[in-house]
Amino acid sequence: MPGFEIFDESEKQQINEVMDQGFTFRYNFDGLRNGVWKARELETLICETLHVKHAHLVSSGTTALTTALMAAGVGAGDEVIVPPFTFVASVEAIVLAGAIPVFAEIDETLTLSAQAIEAVITSKTRAVNFVHMCGYGGDMDGVKAVCDKHNLILLEDACQATGATYKGKALGTIGQVGTFSFDSVKTISCGEGGAVLTNDSQIYANAHMFSDHGHDHIGQDRGAESHPIMGTNFRISEMNAAVGVAQWKKLDRILAIQRKNKKALKDALAQYPEVSFRVITDESGDNAGFVSFFLPTEERTREVVAGLAEQKIPAVFYWYANNWHYFKNWPHIHHMKSPAKLPIDLIADRPDYTQVKTPKSDAIMSRTISMLIQLSWTEADIKMRIDAFAKIFKNQPA
């Protein structure tokens, strides 16, 4: 991760196939494209690889989340449970769908626990946005059981976990609907892009209509199509999809490299008594896009982060202080800042997000360091990181 590290002639070839036809729009205009349909091709590849019935491409992971919520019937006044550790888009999509984010605690999987979800369910709860952070998820059996018990929609945000599995099932396909991101720094990169995954034919129909102004996509004359529902423009272009076709064909290679490189770092870290690791519920299914580990205290964690920075080790994430991935650092979310009135402003009993506390999550994230696993590393790059660990941890007691 990210996939752009192994761009080569195959991406150029796929783009040239589109350019040679001179048409980049994903729908209709059959006579202009001479059988070249890159969005369709990538959707088919995704379905075949992940054993999911439907995949629908959109313009980003964020638009995939918005589309998934709307397509699954989550909207005005509905509560959606979400973790405090996620990319901010997970919350933005809920708010812009007219729904209400409700924060629940994570555990040492770095994802929502089944118990934490159960603790915040109310009569207004409609869905759980389960975010598979840093390449993997959590106790999906337990989470799904809670969702089924309370008749909740399980939306899997697998934007950081493309290719990961849980007990043989691809993450993003376990709940009613799932999402991927294919932006510039994801496992599979289209430059910009995303996907909605589902085995539910009605959710799929809603998704492809909603993301294209409600077009039903029946027939070959776009101007004659019906509009059963309202929608918006979240379409992916054929150019982005073409890059994705080439990238998706490299998925097995990407995962193999990530897993090899992660193992080297994890094996090196495992010798230090003060280090423990993020809980992975199915090691064989780990995307391995990150290695995440815990230290005993926040103070020691900050020392190690500073030490790695001093040694110029890149792509080290201390999420607890990160502006984009942890709730406590989002004043614009705490105050629901927007250039215009939001639907949530009309809800009298909405949560006061300035008062939301997640102490269990804070205790975990304040001690968590993640390192991005890169595809382009040489043996020397890996050794540099292992040597940095040795320098930082060498004076600690065994």
Q: Which three-class secondary structure state does DSSP give residue 364?
A: helix
For tokens 């294919």, what's the residue?
A: 182
- The span from the CA of 106 to the CA of 135, in Å, is 15
CA distance 106 to 112: 4
Contacts of 81 by beta carbon, 8 Å cutoff, 6+ apart: 102, 103, 104, 112, 117, 120, 121, 125, 127, 128, 129
| DSSP H or E segment with residue 153 | strand 153-157
SS3 196: strand
Written as one string, the DSSP assignment of 39-99 is HHHHHHHHHHHHT-SEEEEES-HHHHHHHHHHHTT--TT-EEEE-SBS-THHHHHHHHTT-
Task: Give me the count of residues in the chain.
Answer: 398
Residue 180 CB neighbour total at 10 angstroms: 30
Q: What is the distance between the alpha carbons of residues 309 and 391, in angstroms, rounded to a whole number?
A: 13
Q: Which of 32, 38, 77 is nearest to 248 (CA)?
A: 38
Contacts of 229 (CB under 8 A, 6+ apart): 206, 209, 210, 214
Partners of 177 in the beta sheet?
155
| Residue 385 backbone phi and psi in degrees, to 5 | -70, -40
Catalytic residue numbers?
A: 186
